[in-house]
Amino acid sequence: MASDTWLIAGLGNPGSRYRHTRHNIGHMVLDELVDRMDAKYTRTKVGAQVVAARLGLGGPKVVLAVSEGYMNTSGKPIRGLIDYFDVDPARLVVVHDEVDLDFGRIKLKRGGSEGGHNGLKSITQHLRGDRDYIRVRVGVSRPPGRMETADYVLQKFSPDQADELPQLVQRAADAVELIITEGLTGAQNTVHQA
């Protein structure tokens, strides 16, 4: 029987080159959650950096994780962490960039398609086709004109977006905490009204 631990995975790419790009908003949200816990990541043998803690005093057990590999290989370390910490895949929360949402919007859902997102595709593949995990979709907007989506998400935020980015990251981190404390439906009721 799986434990009651939650695994929160923030998607992105490693290295300073990608640190402030749209594709790395998942990493930014996880960094915010780690800061809130006044913790530091530790490296694991599965290719991820993690913080294992409780959400609040005596609260639920959580593992916060960012992969040390690239977006399209996100599934392997997440699978390793699920196995190591005995996490029910239904308690996996993946935070990722979403081009189908306007910048600043956040949507929460369980399951569904990967929508062309290579990080989600990798996770679903390593979960043997199971799509029943929770997604925190953080809107980065569609690319302008005929720009390729892959090029767009690997660029830094525009100056106007960069000004609003800290608040967006905080709201996405709040959404993750709400999922854990209030459940997905309760979190949706709060986050989707904003």
Report the range of poorest mean pLDDT among 54-63, 68-77, 166-175: 54-63
pLDDT tens, position by position, 87-112:
999 999 999 999 999 999 999 999 99
Average pLDDT, the chain: 95
What would the mean pLDDT of 44-61 be, rounded to a whole number? Answer: 92
pLDDT at 58: 84
| Structure tokens given for 134 | 């929770």
DSSP track, the chain: --BS-EEEEE----STTTTTBGGGHHHHHHHHHHHHTT---EE-TTSEEEEEEESSTT--EEEEEEESS-GGGTHHHHHHHHHHHTB-GGGEEEEEEETTS-TT-EEEEES---TT-HHHHHHHHHTTT---SEEEEEE--PPSTT--HHHHHTSBPPHHHHHHHHHHHHHHHHHHHHHHHHHHHHHHHHHTT-
| Structure tokens given for 5 | 């631990």
Query: How many other C-beta atoms are found inside a 10 Å radius of the C-beta of residue 91?
Result: 23
pTM score over 0.75: yes
pLDDT tens, position by position, 113-166:
998 899 999 999 999 989 999 999 999 999 999 999 999 999 999 999 999 999
Distances (CA, A) of 182 to 23, 40, 174, 185, 190: 28, 26, 11, 8, 10
Q: Is 126 a catalytic residue?
A: no
Confidence of residue 59 (pLDDT cuts 50, 70, 90): confident
Identify the active-site residue in 20, 23, 117, 192.
Answer: 23
Check whether 7 has a pLDDT greater than 70.
yes
